[in-house]
Structure 1
Amino acid sequence: MNDFHPFGWYAAKMAPHLPKKAFQPVKSRLFGGLAYFLLVTGGILAVSLLSLHPIWNLLISVVLGFSFAALGFLGHEILHGTVVKTPWLRDLLGAIAFWPLCTGPKLWRKWHNATHHVHTQHEEKDPDAWPSMEQLAKSRLLRWVYRIPFPIRAFFAFSSLSVMFTVHSIRMLFSFFRDFRWKNRAVVLLQFFLPWMTWLGLLWLIGWEKWWFAFLLPLLIANMIVMGYISTNHRLNPLVPVNDPLANSLSVTVPKWVDVLHFNFSYHTEHHLFPAMSSKYYPLVKKHIKQMWPDRYHEMPMKKALAALWKTPRVYYEHSELIEPKQGHVYGTLGNGLDPNEIVHRELKQDAQALLTTRQEEWKKASGVGKV
């Protein structure tokens, strides 16, 4: 797919076919948030105050983990302004929803709304995009990581999903902190540290064993659920010069009851077309996309998408393919030859290590590294 269109091009053609109410905030989403808030509060109190058998604590932890993740999905929707429009209320509710995941609303809107959505799958500008061969050549750490055999790396990559959202959030704080005005930096830091102070205060109150069930294990579960979606959103798609949601995004399919519990977070292409629209209406958006551009739309079951991620590397080669640098195995991306039902690779004609060395030399020459 080389004929890219910006998301506004699609939105302009589709908007006349959508009801006006689809572009209004849906405050009723807060009832779901209230239900999860009560579950989280009740679960933490039960673990903290009662001397339950570890099996019961484990079951409560699972419920807490699912609730942490679901609140994060709602917080994502709130901070896009699709639930309430009043800025201070939007940020307050978003902060509460993201509290278990320890992500502040001001940082999230800068990182996710203003940067990721504007520059989706741009090699340099998208903070969530995976590296290209050029970026690999610049990073000694990445070159070391990609010397690890692919099966081992894939195992650890999937295991790391249990902490990745938390780790990436901290990384984004360092990445974007200087972009905030001086008067906002204190707010960003306060929004980051307050949730952590709350959870560490809980640790001090109830001790390690109960804290493991009340917060840490649920956080790992929530990370795994959230990253299960996020890892499939774009990582099988190509890097693109134009922010084209039908080229750079993937919607996954999950059982209907899961969509209900997760606020339709699986509709990711739809979200990138209409980020300011409540996800309540994304099934309708999907219907129109599949009628208007059926050959451009990418969707697959969540399990199949995760399996495809396991079988493919995460370094981009010439933007439209994925490469395993050590062996020189090259895989397609969605819209560029990747068949999730039968994932195969082609052999790079030139030696992969030689190519990486060449890219390193090109980067050094361009950046002046090594000059006196």
Structure 2
Amino acid sequence: MKDLHSFGWYAARISPHLPKKAFKPVPTRLWGGLAYLLVVVAGFLTIGLFSFNPFLYLGIAFIIGTSFAAMGFLGHEILHGTVVRKAWLRDLLGAIAFWPLTTGPMLWRKWHNLTHHVHTQNDEKDPDAWPTLEKWKRSRFLRWIYKLPHSFRAFSSFALLTLMFTAHSTKCFVMYIKEFNPKNQPKVWMQLILPWVTWIGLLFIMGPLKWLFAFFIPLLIANAIVMGYISTNHRLNPMTEVNDPLANSLTVTVPKWVDVLHFNFSYHTEHHIFPGMSSKYYPLVKEHIKKVWPELYHEMPMSKALVALWKTPRIYYQGSELIDPHQGHLYGSLGNGLDVANIQYRKEQLTENDEILTKALKNGKNV
């Protein structure tokens, strides 16, 4: 693997080439958020006040769901302090943006800003990192999952993207609630409870059928869109001892109009170098990275990244490879032999101890 550098090392070398305005908050991003909020409210009123064909409701649900997702992307930007700097206003606006995804601003900053960004692709400290072979060995559930055919696992994992953000947010709440100052824990709880009070209240106001189209289906759609991006951010990249965004992060490409609608969320390597910069300026960062480190930069169309995720397992072997332990199939990661245009597996690099352990576990023996 190449020599690794921290995100600060890259930032120090790129910063002099960027305009000063790139390091200032961009409050005009809030106009986009207001537009999405108005679309959501209009969708709620249309579903709640009128009786239409269910297929029309489904179309409205899709619009609401895509708006939920876009509000989440803006909330992510707001809570990094790139839209407004005042802490109380940042948290208020971030809470509103994340309200549909039921994630509170204090939890998000703890989970995402202070942990994921600081410890990206660290198998012990990054809450978003996928498990290693060692963790697979210790988990009966993972060992059972990986006895299933790869095609079934891939289909199931993609289907579960419709629930994954909400589920992972709940998991992170359980993980981190005790790490908050006891004085702040009631606020964190309220930021979890109040959105659900809103959405359950909407259920009683609208009734189950209309609520299904106004909130539940849109939530599934929002989860799928958000997780479509998040799944490609790091899951094809290696784990790294140094938090090097050019090694452990992937930028995906989408049509320009999608970038506009999603606040440039596709620029993920750039975000990990400058998490405190508005994504409005990430195209400038990308331009400089490709000029100076073109051989280290990872980008691909989102469609190709998703296909690569479908074709590869999600268990890490020795940090730089992915393994299907039941089959003993090894795949490279980005920068370590993974060719997304021609994904191949190999077997010869398992150590003798790993061969013994995986065979024993595959046969149901205790180790």
Question: Is the TM-score greater than 0.5?
Answer: yes
What is the Cα deviation at residue 61 of structure 1? 0.4
AA aligned opposite 1:356: T
What is the Cα deviation at residue 144 of structure 1? 1.5
Are 2:276 and 1:276 equivalent residues in the alignment? yes
Contact preservation (8 Å) 1:137, 1:357: no
Structure 1, residues 218-252: CA drift from partner, whole Å, max 9, x if none? 00000000000000000000010000000000000
AA aligned opposite 1:188: V
Greater CA drift, 162-171 or 132-141: 132-141
User: Separation in 2 of the partners of 1:216 and 1:150?
Assistant: 29
User: Separation in 1 of the partners of 2:360 and 2:263?
Assistant: 46
Contact preservation (8 Å) 1:254, 1:302: yes
* Cα pair distance change 1:161/1:116, threshold 3 Å: same
SS state at 1:119 partner: coil
Contact preservation (8 Å) 2:143, 2:361: no
AA aligned opposite 1:134: E
* Cα pair distance change 1:353/1:196, threshold 3 Å: farther
Aligned to 2:63: 63
User: Separation in 2 of the partners of 1:286 and 1:176?
Assistant: 33
Aligned to 1:369: none
Length-normalised TM-score, structure 1? 0.95
SS state at 2:316 partner: strand
What is the Cα deviation at residue 33 of structure 1? 0.3
Greater CA drift, 339-348 or 141-150: 141-150
Contact preservation (8 Å) 2:233, 2:250: yes
User: Separation in 2 of the partners of 1:342 and 1:43?
Assistant: 43
User: Separation in 2 of the partners of 1:349 and 1:237?
Assistant: 19
* Cα pair distance change 1:327/1:359, threshold 3 Å: closer
AA aligned opposite 1:260: V
What is the Cα deviation at residue 349 of structure 1? 5.5
Aligned to 1:332: 332
- Any runs of at least 4 consecutive aligned residues in structure 1 with deviations exceeding 4 A, and if so which? 349-353, 357-360
Aligned to 2:132: 132
What is the Cα deviation at residue 355 of structure 1? 3.2
User: Separation in 1 of the partners of 2:162 and 2:348?
Assistant: 33
Structure 1 segment 263-302 matched on structure 2, within 5 A? 263-302=263-302
Contact preservation (8 Å) 1:134, 1:359: no
* Cα pair distance change 1:282/1:349, threshold 3 Å: closer
Aligned to 1:100: 100
User: Separation in 1 of the partners of 2:294 and 2:234?
Assistant: 19
SS state at 1:316 partner: strand
Aligned to 1:356: 358
AA aligned opposite 1:150: H
Aligned to 1:46: 46
User: Separation in 1 of the partners of 2:134 and 2:3?
Assistant: 24
Aligned to 1:239: 239
What is the Cα deviation at residue 348 of structure 1? 3.8
Greater CA drift, 350-359 or 228-237: 350-359
AA aligned opposite 1:17: H
What is the Cα deviation at residue 357 of structure 1? 6.8
User: Separation in 2 of the partners of 1:148 and 1:81?
Assistant: 43
SS state at 1:130 partner: coil
Q: Percent identity?
A: 64
Aligned to 1:167: 167
What is the Cα deviation at residue 141 of structure 1? 1.5
User: Separation in 1 of the partners of 2:253 and 2:361?
Assistant: 38
Structure 1, residues 257-305: CA drift from partner, whole Å, max 9, x if none? 0000000000000000000000000000000000010000000000000
Name stretches of at least 5 consecutive residues in structure 1 with no aligned partner.
366-372
User: Separation in 2 of the partners of 1:358 and 1:129?
Assistant: 26
What is the Cα deviation at residue 359 of structure 1? 9.8
Structure 1, residues 180-213: CA drift from partner, whole Å, max 9, x if none? 0101110001000100110000001111100010
User: Separation in 2 of the partners of 1:349 and 1:56?
Assistant: 54
Structure 1, residues 91-142: CA drift from partner, whole Å, max 9, x if none? 0000000000000000000000000000000010000000000111121221
User: Separation in 2 of the partners of 1:183 and 1:340?
Assistant: 49
Aligned to 1:84: 84
Q: RMSD of the alignment, in Å? A: 1.6
Structure 1, residues 294-339: CA drift from partner, whole Å, max 9, x if none? 0000000000000000000000001000000111000000000000
Contact preservation (8 Å) 2:163, 2:220: yes
SS state at 2:184 partner: helix
Name stretches of at least 5 consecutive residues in structure 2 with no aligned partner.
none
Structure 1, residues 29-72: CA drift from partner, whole Å, max 9, x if none? 00000000000011011101111221211110000010000000
Greater CA drift, 136-145 or 300-309: 136-145
User: Separation in 2 of the partners of 1:358 and 1:17?
Assistant: 55
Structure 1, residues 149-168: CA drift from partner, whole Å, max 9, x if none? 11111110000000000000
AA aligned opposite 1:55: F
SS state at 2:240 partner: coil
Count of residue pairs brought into register by the alignment: 362
User: Separation in 2 of the partners of 1:123 and 1:356?
Assistant: 20
User: Separation in 2 of the partners of 1:188 and 1:230?
Assistant: 24
SS state at 1:347 partner: coil
SS state at 1:330 partner: strand
Aligned to 1:317: 317
Length-normalised TM-score, structure 2? 0.96
